[in-house]
Amino acid sequence: MTKTGMNPFARYTKATTDIKPRIIAASFGEVGTGKTSFWLGAPAPIVIQTLDQGLEGVVETYAADKDIYIAEYDLGQRMGEDYTHAKAVEARDKFVSDFEVAITNARTIVWDRETDVFKLFFFAEFGTDDAFAAAPPKDWDKLKGKIRRLISMAKASDVNFGLIQGMKNEWGQKVNNKTGAKAATQTGARIVDGMDGIDALVHVNLEHTRVNGEMAITIGKSRGPGGRDIQDQTFTGEMATFQSLAMMVFPDSNEEDWL
């Protein structure tokens, strides 16, 4: 307290030991490594915001036992239509509206895939899908800020939130030893495809692979009571499910808490 009796810390929020038992994670990996199945194993009701029409053959098994709601978007995929800037803006705005409703009603929200969400927002913002299009840095920051706002909304809520990311070829520059000229070339490596910095915004980073024919997750950064104990470890089979991960991150919970 100050001499005037005013609490100088009244303007701040005092940190507590309270922990929200939820998983906010980025899941990245190649096609067919179980990313969507992992998140369909999360607690219901689940809202999946999908842009690639890719749930067929996966969602049906889980839909028999839990409430799963799918939000799809018109990107001009019908015969005779084109994917125009106007459609991108309309789809982006609907995506944001759907997300804001899901935040207060769903128990789990999944972006399948964040890779496509970023490309949608890019097209809606700049009117082009050319990632090398000229745009001032402040415009890039404005674009990323719109996506960071949605992620922050999830972090301020009690929902589980999964951002599924695909992979792409890495490009670099190769220098001609004779002429000194530089040319873009593929390095042979595969890297995460999506908005950069997502790994820093989430609480857990998961790499999905296959190990001896089984789905596997390798845990990178992991926040939570048990998070540090499982960092840099790989789990397969039943240990690679959403429930198993959640109980490892929150050791005082049990399987029923995550159904």
pLDDT in tens, 59-115: 999 999 999 999 999 887 778 788 899 999 999 999 999 999 999 999 999 999 999
Q: How far apart are CA 36 and CA 159, in angstroms?
A: 17
Our CA angle for 111, 245, 117, nearest 5°, is 10
Amino acid at position 194, single letter:
G
Instruction: Please compute the mean of the pLDDT values over residues 137-165 and round it to a whole number.
Output: 92
Residue 175, pLDDT > 90, answer no
pLDDT value at residue 224: 95
Per-residue confidence (pLDDT) for residue 184, from 0 to 100: 83
Helix, strand, coil percent content, the chain, rounded in steps of 5? 35, 25, 40
| Interatomic CA distance for residues 54 and 62, integer angstroms | 15
Mean pLDDT of the chain: 91
Strands (E), 101-213: 108-112, 160-175, 182-193, 204-211
**Any residues with CB less than 8 A from the CB of 223 and at least 6 apart, and which?**
203, 204, 249
Fold for 24-258, please state it: Rossmann fold (3.40.50)
Note the pLDDT of residue 2.
Answer: 57
Residue 74: left if φ>0, alpha if ψ -120 to 50, beta else—which one? beta
What average pLDDT does the segment 15-41 reach? 95
Alpha-carbon gap, residue 203 to 22, rounded angstroms: 10
Per-residue pLDDT band for 35 (boundaries 50, 70, 90) equals very high
Interatomic CA distance for residues 217 and 232, integer angstroms = 10
Report the alpha-carbon angle 121-124-162, nearest 5. 20
- pTM to 2 decimal places: 0.92
Query: In this predicted structure, what is the pLDDT of residue 182?
Result: 78
Instruction: Report the distance separating Cα 202 and Cα 238, nearest Å.
Output: 24
Q: Give the DSSP H/E element, type plus range, for residue 225.
A: none
**Residue 125 half-sphere exposure toward CB, CA atoms < 13 A:** 22
Average pLDDT in the 195-222 region?
A: 96
Whole-number Å distance between alpha carbons of 143 and 259: 35
Residues 118-146 pLDDT 10s: 999 999 998 876 655 656 666 888 899 99
